[in-house]
Structures are given as structure tokens and as C-alpha cells.
Amino acid sequence: MADIESTLNPIFTKIDELKPQFIERLRKAVAIPSVSSDESLRPEVFRMADFLVDELKALNADDITVKQLGKQPPPVADANLQLPPIVLAKFGSDPSKKTVLIYGHYDVQPALLEDGWASDPFALVERDNKLFGRGSTDDKGPVMGWLNSIQAHRELNIDLPVNLVCCFEGMEESGSLGLDELIAQEAQNYFQNVSSVCISDNYWLGTKKPVLTYGLRGCNYYQLTVKGPGADLHSGIFGGVIHEPMTDLIKVMSQLVDVDGTIKIPHVLDLVAPVTEKEEALYKDIDFDVNELNLASGSDTAIYKDKRDILMHRWRFPSLSLHGIEGAFYGAGAKTVIPAQVIGKFSIRTVPDMDSDILNKLVIDYCNERFKELGSPNTFTAELIHPGAYWVSDPFNNEFTAAKLATKTVWGIEPDLTREGGSIPVTLTFEQQLKSNVLLLPMGKGDDGAHSINEKVDVPNYIEGTKTLSAYLHYYSITK
């Protein structure tokens, strides 16, 4: 351990020295509006891939491979829309070293200034020792953190303690289309000999104490389509005399979840594994201030007030959330239109032991039954857009042991072991296809606002997070 600490000290000093360069690297990344869900911005997602390739070249990667994935499958407006590529790179191929695959994504959620941002979401702004910008914490900040770590090692002529394999995708915010297939294809090729996978695409539970994450909820995303008239109609002429698609859709969506978060679809909760006494005991000592939930949400609207209840419903139990209605009028003013077609979107966060196929049948059958009860002549379709499996790991394996040492070295405190309510479906894919353990090593804080307005990463988390990623590689390299 003393040898590792003596190696890490100059690396940490170099990271501090390179702080302005590292912030500038993130600034350039954030400036590219790589929104994967917006077809009009697809060229920007490709531009972000090119940016990563250039950065990897500058860091003297041994091998850079850009995997094209072809056309994006329906539903799409442009039948020729191309999926963003997966950028692969290698640093080192020493057979005496372990090989760690690092995963991240370079696409981001949509963001508009008029949504309520205090500044242009695609211009990194530093305020109060925080870096604001879309992707700053999800996930461009952590991806840049890995590049920062490599640069610090390079400038000091210190060899990386492991062989690194990089896997950066551009469709994570839109279902990671094509990624599962690529991992399966490359399991015995590009990803051969990978002994471990490290992902930094999650967050601390709160704002004061670092964590390591050993579990994630899954996410099954659904849409409901109601089609009626052949074109949008004037409510002054047709209101009250036709069955309106929006009315049908609202009626069905209103029967999915109750105001207290209870899922109203029968038998969904029957799929959930019972909570054991041993599992429940893990929640007792986790450092979590209930008030931080209100601070993170920007409101005092929590359903639960007790730490255990909040964390269990955030990590351990499923939830159903309504996300939006496509095709409906949403702008300013008073447009009296009856939309001809509307598409409602919602998701269910899944947990052990929910079977995705069984869940999908329960959801789709239930929605079809609710629509049938309306007696409407409109057409109705309920469908799964994409599934995402839950994931649970062993928080006491070599990866987590090394990450605990790295976290304590950098932050001076033992991290909490947590699960998360969000989803990273590729976690399970890597674990199954590569037969490797997966570690979730977060950089950002619980109040970073990923997917929300004014997304940010604290400067200390960005810089100390880069140190933590670096230390992890060194500690993991000596585990047996």
C-alpha cells in the first residue's frame, strides 16, 4: 500500500496542476449539443464522437476503433437516420497486467435555455465552484475524468497499472440501441481478456459523503398511441361531436399510477422479491439527510419522510412515472386544436425479481383493457419501446475493495454502499457477456441535477473524482 501511495502522490499533484486544462476539456465537450433523442441534432452526436477520437489520439491510444451501427430502427421520422458510433480504444496490452474496461456515454438529454436554465446549457459556466452545463455530470464529466487520468499518467511517464479498454457510446439516453449486440460480438474479440468493468455514470446519494453503488433499478419504457381523425381539427367545429384521442389517452394514463406513487396495474408488485431482515439492516447506517431530497428536487413534495422509506422506494421498490404526451399542443397561448393522434409515454423502474416479459404482458394487457372500457372508435396501441434490466452485485468483491481504498485515500472517509433508482442497462450486459464483475464508481453529487435544468458538477468532485478513478486503477491492479 505504501508503494501505491508514493506513486499516487505525484499523480494527484499533476491532476491539481492540470486542473485548468481539464476544465477546458469539459468545456469543449459540453459545447457540443449531442442530444441523441433529437433527430435534428444527430450530426452533433457524431461530432461528439469525433471529438472523443481526437482526444484519444492526442493521448496516444494504442488502438482506436470506431464501430458504426447502421440505421436506427423505427420509430424514427427519418428512415435513413444513422445510429451514432461506439468509440473503442485501448491503452496497453501487457499480459502480466489486469485489463479494465471503462464505459461511458457521450450523448446527453435535451436542454433549452427557456426550460429554466440560468445560462446556456451548452456553454460550461463556473459559478460558486460548480461547473454548469448539460452533460457536465451525465456523463461527459466522468468520461473526461478518465481522459484526465490518462493524461496525468502520460505527462509523468508513469505507466498505467492496468491495461485499459475504453467503450464510449452515443445512445445511452435513448436506450443504448446497438450496444448489447456490439458487446456480444466483441466479447471474444476487442473485449477479450477484460477482467473487470468500471462505470462512472451515477452519483453520490447526498452531497457530503462518497458512495459505491452495487445495485440499480431497471427501466422498461412504454408508449400508448391513440389515433382518431384524419387531421388535427378545430374544437369549435368538432368539439363535443367526435371521440377525441387526447381524452381517451388521458383517461387510460390516469389509471396507471396513484398520486401517492402506488402502481395501479394488478400483480406488478407480486413480482417483487421480499425484503429480508439482512437487507433491511443495510439501510440503518447509511448517511442520508431526508432534507437533501427536498433540496435536490427543489420542493417539499416528498411522499415519504423517513430515511428508510425514501431509500427503499428509491432503490428497492418499483415505480411508475408519466413522462409526456407527443402530438399534443404545449406552447404558449390558447390554441384550440383537437390533435388527430397523441402518444403517451411512461416507464416502470424494475427491481429484483421482476421478469421483464411477464411485466410487459401485465402492462400492455391492462392498458388495452382500460381503453376497451371506453367504447371509443379510435384506434389504440400499447407497446414497449425499450426494456432495461435491473442489476445487483457483490459489494465485497475485489473491485469494491479497491474502490473503497481509493475513495478513502482521496476523500479521507469510507464510502457508503448504496443502490440507485436510476438505470444503466449495459451494466448487466457487460457482466453477463464478459463474465466480469462491474463496479459503479460515481463522480458527481446527489444534487447535480442530471436530466434536469442547471445540471452541474462541483469542481472538487470533477478534480478529486479524477484522482479517485486514478487511485482505483492502482489499488485494483494489486488485488488477488
**Contact predicate 244/377, CB 8 Å:** no
Amino acid at 83: L
Range(s) within the chain of domains with CATH label 3.30.70.360:
219-272+317-388
- Whether 133 shows a pLDDT value over 80: the answer reads yes
Per DSSP, what are the bridge partners of residue 348?
220, 320
Return the closest-CA partner of residue 102 out of 77, 131, 139: 139
Catalytic residue among 44, 139, 169, 172: 172
336 labeled part of a ligand binding site: yes
Query: What CATH number does the domain located at 219-272+317-388 have?
Result: 3.30.70.360
Q: Does 201 belong to an annotated binding site?
A: yes
> How many angstroms separate the CA atoms of 164 and 101, rounded?
6
The three grid cell numbers given for residue 139, joined into one nine-digit string:
456523463
Alpha-carbon distance of 371 to 368, in angstroms, equals 5
Euclidean distance between CA atoms 406 and 400, whole angstroms: 10
- Residues 6 or more apart from 387 whose CB is under 8 A from it? 218, 219, 220, 221, 356, 360, 425
Say how far apart CA 162 and CA 236 lie, in whole Å.
69
105 appears as a binding residue in the annotation:
yes
Mean pLDDT of 457-479: 98
451 is in an annotated binding site: yes
Cβ neighbours for 435, distance < 8 A, ≥ 6 positions apart? none
Stretch (H or E) spanning 7? helix 2-17
Q: Among residues 271, 253, 262, 261, which one has the least CA distance to residue 367? A: 253
pLDDT at 273 over 70: yes
Confidence of residue 135 (pLDDT cuts 50, 70, 90): very high
226 closest CA partner among 75, 386, 74, 368: 368
Average pLDDT over residues 382-395: 91
pLDDT tens profile 173-226: 998 999 999 999 999 999 999 999 999 999 999 899 999 999 999 999 999 999
The phi, psi pair for 216, rounded to 5°, reads -140, 145
User: 10 Å Cβ neighbour count for 116?
Assistant: 9
pLDDT range class, residue 1, cuts 50, 70, 90: low
pLDDT at residue 289 tops 90: no
Q: Is residue 140 a contact partner of residue 106, using CB atoms and an 8 Å limit?
A: yes
User: Rounded to two decimals, what is the model's pTM?
Assistant: 0.82
User: Which of these is catalytic: 44, 107, 244, 455?
Assistant: 107
Chain region(s) in the chain for CATH 3.40.630.10? 1-216+390-478
Q: Please report the pLDDT score of residue 123 as a whole number.
A: 98
173 has binding-site annotation: yes
In this structure, the number of other CB atoms found within 10 A of the CB of residue 303 comes to 11
Check whether the bond before 458 is cis (ω within 30° of 0): no
Q: Residue 308: exposed, middle, or buried by beta-carbon count in 10 A (0-12, 13-18, 19+)?
A: middle
Placement of cell 477484460 in the chain: 194
At the fourth CATH level, the homologous superfamily of domain 1-216+390-478 is: Zn peptidases (3.40.630.10)
Task: Inform me whether the pLDDT recorded for 280 exceeds 90.
Answer: no
Give the pLDDT band (50/70/90) at residue 2.
low
107 is catalytic: yes
For the ranges 70-84, 190-204, 413-427, which has the lowest average pLDDT?
413-427
Q: What is the DSSP string of 390-406?
A: -EE--TTSHHHHHHHHH
Burial bucket for residue 277 (CB in 10 Å: 0-12, 13-18, 19+): exposed
Average pLDDT of the chain?
95
Residue ranges in 108-255 assigned as alpha helix (H): 140-155, 179-186, 235-238, 245-253
**In the numeric block, which cell numbers belong to residue 171?**
445512445
Q: Is 420 a catalytic residue?
A: no
